[in-house]
Chains A and B, each alone.
Chain A
Amino acid sequence: MADLARLQQQFYDRVVGRAPGDPAHREDDPGAAGELIGSGDLGIYARMYASRLHDALAEDHPKLRAALGDERFGELVVHYLRAHPPSSFTLRDAGLELERFLRGTDLAPAWAADLAALERARVEVFDGPDAELLTQEAVAALGDALPGLVLAWVPSSVVVPLAWTVDDLWSAIEDGSPTTEPVAEPRAVLVWRRDVAVLHRTLDADEARLAPRIAPGLSFADACEVLGELHGDAASARAVELLLRWLAAAALAAPPTWPALDPT
């Protein structure tokens, strides 16, 4: 290995905390013998590296940090980064594996993974693409062609299935209200972006059933079919109620193709 490459490797190992003897340390590299970095305090870079990663994760997961407390969150980050060292050039991706890590560790409560998933969804949605919105006026203009309308959430949206009531915990922390330990209760949350505001809302039972199918696109008639099974004669009114709710929330995207209007 050329000296420059060895120097860079040794510098990297020092900064990320890999010492000689660490399995990740490149002892097997026949050209790695001999330290090229003989003096100088690299500890400041190592401390800054860990600190920046901690800050990035804390910024993306403010409610998880608040729920666990600074000390516990800090310990969690140390263990997480040891298990999932960053591999992307951007710190945005540093927390990509946090939810999965939390599902397999006893360092945090069982509900912590759900809270991390909700917060991660909010990050993803903020950076997602813009879209033309489906408006109430456009839907009204369809008239009897409405059954053929394809409903789809805006592309900057995620349906997050939860096993714990971490949405309530998120709200309590945000509002500065007393918090309670999340309890096991399946629910679904829609996270979406409206202009530059990221919002989320806990879905009711009908919405939770429809939401995953709306994500890839679902015709209004098919949505009505689902509601028909649930509500019988009241399905039409319920369909209108939900459609108006989603339109008001700016949560639906204009379809790539519009259903043909009846010329009569």
Chain B
Amino acid sequence: MKNPVRTGSMIAFAAASLFAAACGSKAPDQGTTPAASPEKTAAAVHCMGINSCKGTGSCKSEKNGCKGQNGCKGQGMTDTATAEDCTGKGGTVAVGN
């Protein structure tokens, strides 16, 4: 019966060498398995300063993570469909949109 820890470590040591080689090349070998499915994100614009922090969703900011504190009225972030929606409500479009 194989020793699972030893087997895993042996594979990991070999992987360490491969990792170093991959990082040293300009185009790391991504293997022969199918490519990862694409990352998905919503297309909404992150808009600062318009939410009244009803507590739903997007109110994270540097000042307030909104972890149920309900205290980020006007300080946090919410999502709007377009930049115009954001500025029309008195907000500013967050950097990184």
Contact = CB atoms under 8 A, between A and B. Distances in A.
A235 B36 contact: no
Interface residues of A, number: 62
A129 B65 CA distance: 8
A200 B9 contact: no
A52 B11 CA distance: 55
A245 interface: yes
A197 B42 CA distance: 8
Contacts of A225: 4-5, 7-8, 11
A169 B43 CA distance: 15
Interface in B6-30: 7-9, 11-16, 18-20, 22-23, 28-30
Main secondary structure of the interface of A (DSSP, over half): helix
Interface of A: 52, 56, 59-60, 62, 88-94, 122-123, 126-127, 129-130, 136, 139-140, 142-144, 146-147, 167, 170-171, 174, 195-204, 206, 219-228, 235-241, 243-245, 249
Given A219-B8, A240-B19, A245-B30, 17 more contacts: A52-B54, A88-B68, A90-B68, A91-B55, A123-B56, A126-B60, A127-B60, A142-B16, A195-B96, A198-B41, A199-B41, A221-B8, A224-B12, A225-B4, A225-B8, A226-B8, A236-B15
